[in-house]
């Protein structure tokens, strides 16, 4: 198989070839390493490649599988990890100068679970400083470039993960999402990213941004691949105070093939909230057109679509909790080493230290009201369909990294509510702008129902090929 075809296999396709002894983990790793070596001086997805240890891990996986000791579909599959996840013996920067030389002694729980499943670790990926932004323009490290147009932003904060997947460097990644940071770069870079239910995936060993809003989750090239990864990383961690002890289903078993003769979403009710998420004054016309064009496809797959009134995100999801909790985490750094925080997070943290406890308490109460209103809404529908991002990727040159707020509000406009709510949400590619920039569709569901979210996304991807498009790279 041609090397360019090899690196653009889905994770499932690569796993099937390994199982059939048609390709080895070492061949996959070498193809991914060669791809990154050819492109990453320009794209800047990696902060710390670990290619030599990856070769050794792939060699061991090849021998284990040949000896009949396969650990499952992730065994021997090359991954690269957002540099917010701690990795034993490998530096974990968090995108910050403060941690430029920090080397953890222990893996994050999710990284440990991937290793237990036999995944091969290629290295650590670029992100926005401290995950505190949506552009991935970072003053301390080279800015990653969008593979569809290298003058455009990748979205953040998991921008390096999205670039690595879109450019063919790996078959899966881990991202984190506090307002948008898995789904936004997935949308802008044309890949698939899932934010699970809050508490479904351990956050232990993931550098925090906002304790009550952070989510860890999979990024890949398809919903099926995200299901495979989620099956490996989900589950209770009694050393993580955010983790919830809820049974983990077989996510792959939820998936049903979509074809012209099947209706895999029969009886699934999808709500379309026109009152905020499709506001033509806030959403680019090409985004609205692409996402609206998905609705007859879902109907053809058997789903029942209906318009719904969604609780007002502008009221229930504000900046108070985000700013207060991120300031609490960074207060000591601001006091002791302010020069090693860039201007934007330094100003944001300093301003947030002046917030009042009573205002924070009111904001947390509004979150509970928001969740209750959603519970009532979700009696009548099973999923919510919206655009992932209000805009397509814009010019890197237009970003001022010293501006505290920056374009974060518009970039996270469509996604932040689902972090406040803590429900699962996925972004899948659903089209391109006239200039060739990726557009994403967001599907969200009830708490703990990642399986249905993945099933709907997988059915859509079975009926379309947007997720199989490749960016114009050498």
452 near 268, Cβ under 8 Å?
A: yes
Q: Is 176 a catalytic site residue?
A: no
458 near 220, Cβ under 8 Å?
A: no
**Residues facing 432 on adjacent strands:** 438
Cβ-count burial 279-311 (b if 16+ within 10 Å, e if not): eeeebbebbbebbeebeebbeebebebeebebb
Q: Is 82 a catalytic site residue?
A: yes
Q: Is 157 a catalytic site residue?
A: yes
406 near 180, Cβ under 8 Å?
A: no
Catalytic residue (choose from 10, 82, 427, 444): 82
Taking alpha carbons only, the member of 143, 151, 199, 187 closest to residue 412 is 187
Catalytic residue (choose from 96, 157, 202, 444): 157
Give the Cα separation of 67 and 41 in Å (integer): 38
Give the Cα separation of 299 and 288 in Å (integer): 18
Catalytic residue (choose from 96, 181, 326, 444): 181
Sheet bearing 46-49, strands edge to edge: 46-49, 120-125, 78-82, 172-177, 215-220, 192-195, 425-432, 438-445, 383-387, 269-272, 304-307
96 near 107, Cβ under 8 Å?
A: no
Enzyme catalytic residues? 82, 157, 181
């Amino acid at each position: 198989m041609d090397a360019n075809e090899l690196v653009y296999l889905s994770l499932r396709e690569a796993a099937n070839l390994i199982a059939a002894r048609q390709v080895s983990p070492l061949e996959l790793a070498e193809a991914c390493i060669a791809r990154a070596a050819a492109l990453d001086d320009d794209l800047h997805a990696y902060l710390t490649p670990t290619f030599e240890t990856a070769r050794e891990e792939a060699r061991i996986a090849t021998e284990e599988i040949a000896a009949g000791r396969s650990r499952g579909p992730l065994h021997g599959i090359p991954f690269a990890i957002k540099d917010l996840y701690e990795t034993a013996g490998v530096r974990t920067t968090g995108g910050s100068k403060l941690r430029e030389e920090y080397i953890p002694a222990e893996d994050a729980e999710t990284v440990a679970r991937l290793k237990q499943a036999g995944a091969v670790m290629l290295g650590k990926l670029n992100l926005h400083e401290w995950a505190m932004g949506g552009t991935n323009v970072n003053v301390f490290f080279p800015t990653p470039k969008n593979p569809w147009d290298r003058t455009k932003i990748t979205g953040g904060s998991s921008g390096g993960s999205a670039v690595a997947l879109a450019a063919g460097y790996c078959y899966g990644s881990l991202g984190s999402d506090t307002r948008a940071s898995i789904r936004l770069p997935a949308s802008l870079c044309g890949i698939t990213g899932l934010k699970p239910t809050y508490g479904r995936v351990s956050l232990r060993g993931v550098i925090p941004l906002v304790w009550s809003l952070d989510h860890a989750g999979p990024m890949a090239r398809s919903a099926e691949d995200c299901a495979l990864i989620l099956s490996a990383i989900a589950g209770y961690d009694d050393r993580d105070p955010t983790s919830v002890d809820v049974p983990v289903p077989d996510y792959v078993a939820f998936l049903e093939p979509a074809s012209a003769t099947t209706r895999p979403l029969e009886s699934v009710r999808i709500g379309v909230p026109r009152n905020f998420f499709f506001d033509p004054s806030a959403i680019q016309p090409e985004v609205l057109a692409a996402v609206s064009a998905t609705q007859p496809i879902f109907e053809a797959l058997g789903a029942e679509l209906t318009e719904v009134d969604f609780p007002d995100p502008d009221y229930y999801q504000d900046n108070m909790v985000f700013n207060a909790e991120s300031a609490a985490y960074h207060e000591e750094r601001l006091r002791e080493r302010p020069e090693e925080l860039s201007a934007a997070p330094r100003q944001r943290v300093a301003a947030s230290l002046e917030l009042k406890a009573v205002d924070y308490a009111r904001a947390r109460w509004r979150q509970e009201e928001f969740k209750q209103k959603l519970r009532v809404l979700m009696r009548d529908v099973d999923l919510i369909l919206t655009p992932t991002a209000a805009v397509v990727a814009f010019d890197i040159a237009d970003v001022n990294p010293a501006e505290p707020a920056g374009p974060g509000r518009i970039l996270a406009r469509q996604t932040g509510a689902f972090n406040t709510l803590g429900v699962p949400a996925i972004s899948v590619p659903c089209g391109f702008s006239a200039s060739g920039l990726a557009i994403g569709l967001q599907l969200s569901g009830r708490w703990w129902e990642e399986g249905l979210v993945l099933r709907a996304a997988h059915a859509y991807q079975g009926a379309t090929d947007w997720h199989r498009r490749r960016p114009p790279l050498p």
